[in-house]
Structure 1
Amino acid sequence: MSEITYIRGDATAPSGEGVKVIAHVCNDAGGWGRGFVVALSRRRPEPEAAYRAWYRDRAENDFGLGAVQLVRVEPSLWVANMVGQHGMRRATSRDVPVRYEAIDTALGRLADRVAELDASVHMPRIGCGLAGGSWDRIEPLIRKRLAGRGIAVTVYDHDG
Structure 2
Amino acid sequence: MKKIVLVLVLLISTVGFSQNETIDAFLEKWQNSKNYLVEIAKSMPEEKYDFKPTAREMSFGEQLLHIKGNMDWLGTTYFTTEKFDKIKDEKTPSKAEIISSLEMSFDKVYEIIKNTKPGHLKDKVDFFAGPKTKLQMLNLLQDHVSHHRGQLIVYLNLNEIKPPSYLGW
- TM-score above 0.5, yes or no: no
TM normalised by structure 2 equals 0.24
The structure with more helix, counted as a fraction of residues: 2
TM normalised by structure 1 equals 0.25
The structure with more strand, counted as a fraction of residues: 1
